[in-house]
Amino acid sequence: MSAEVAHAAIAVLRGLVGPAMAVVYVSQAAHALGKDLESLEPSDADGLCVELRKLMSGYCSLAMLEDMCEDVHRQMAAAASGSA
Amino acid sequence: MGVLPRRAAVTAGALLASIVVAAAAMRAVSANADMAAALSTAGAVAFAVFAVAAAWSLASRLQRGEPLQVQVAAIGAGMAALVAGDFVYWAHESLLRVEPYPSSADLLYIASFPLLGGGLLLALRAFTRGQRQTVPLAVSAAVSLAGTVAVWLTVLGPLMGDTEASVLEKALGAFYPLGDLWLLLFPALALALALVRFAGGRLATPWAIVSFGALAMAATDTAYTWLDYAGTYVSGSLVDVGWWVAYAAIGLGLVTLAEVQGVRGGRSRER
């Protein structure tokens, strides 16, 4: 899998936490799953969201975290189908 | 979306206009010291009540016990303590005709520091989870320490050596400036510096505004400390506008927070 799936997740976070922290967060979350950015797959979206919630739940409302995770799922899947 | 969501931008414009008009009015009546002082107090209470209302409105729309609610509630409670302290101070001075300092108003003022500082520290911890934040903490501690030295050399040192001041007056006289420097300035500056890494993201903007408000409050309080010790402070002077700006900024930050978190109106979510 190319890095496009990871970039899709980063794009979701960019508007929320800025471009620098979006990369940091997705990288940390992927690392926690035992992966790097290039190897992320749409099936990792659930695990990625769990890790992102751990990082962001202190300053994100629960409602916003739900929305973010829906977006992450959708955008990662779209990126994977687009690059297939 | 620009720097601020639409509703927050409108609120910012209204607050700015209110501050400018009220400051002009206060300057126009400056020859009448009582009227200028009353206008100053009314403005401070009005902007602080706005901040309390913004905190209450947001906290009540978040789910019970979620971290963001605790931070907002702490800041709202801190602002409420300030408003209550102002009321008690006014009651002592104007109704009971007794010296308002020191008085029970000081208990409320003192309570506002850990509440406001605690809310800021909780937000700082939230934004720095999983990140090393040595520089913001070190820089903030250095600034607060420098301020402490300056205040000690100019005000606290002489106050502590004043044989006519009571122990309570010395304790309160030390707590206020030190509380400003370590319970307001330190967490607010550390949070503001930590938020730099979040530049370009909309979640940092509200807390940057709240931090600015807390920094403005600490700066105005410190200016008041120096002016009061020098005997040159006059209630109703333009330095009081600093408190208006501080309280208005904290309220605006909380209004903006509600907007960016999508909890405006309780249900709607801005995307």
Single-letter residue type at B215: L
CA distance B67 to chain A (A): 5
Average predicted confidence (pLDDT) for chain A: 93
A16 touches chain B (CB under 8 A): yes
**pLDDT tens string for chain B (271 positions)?**
568 999 999 999 999 999 999 999 999 999 999 899 999 999 999 999 999 999 999 999 998 888 999 999 999 999 999 999 999 998 998 899 999 999 999 999 999 999 999 999 999 999 998 788 899 999 999 999 999 999 999 999 999 999 999 999 999 999 999 999 999 999 999 999 999 999 999 999 999 999 999 999 999 999 999 999 999 999 888 899 999 999 999 999 999 999 999 875 554 344 3
Contact B201 A14 (CB under 8 A): yes
At residue A56, the 3 state secondary structure works out as helix
Interatomic CA distance for residues B268 and A46, integer angstroms:
25
Specify the pLDDT at position A74.
Answer: 96
Tell which residue, A67, A76, A19, has the closest CA to residue A47. Answer: A76
Specify the pLDDT at position B267.
Answer: 43
The tokens for A53 are 């919630």
Say which of A19, A54, A61 has its CB closest to residue B62. Answer: A61
pLDDT at residue A2 above 70? no
Specify the pLDDT at position A84.
Answer: 55
Q: For residue A14, which residues of chain B lie inside 8 Å, CB to CB?
A: 200-201
Whole-model pTM: value is 0.94
A14 touches chain B (CB under 8 A): yes
CA distance A9 to chain B (A): 15
A65 touches chain B (CB under 8 A): no
Contact A15 B123 (CB under 8 A): no
- In angstroms, the Cα distances linking A7 to A21, A60, A72, A82, B137 are 13, 21, 10, 13, 32
Give the start-to-end residue ranges of the domains of chain B: 6-260
Contact A55 B130 (CB under 8 A): yes
Tell which residue, B161, B120, B157, has the closest CA to residue B137. Answer: B120
Look at the block and give the residue holding tokens 């106050």: B159
Specify the pLDDT at position B25.
Answer: 96
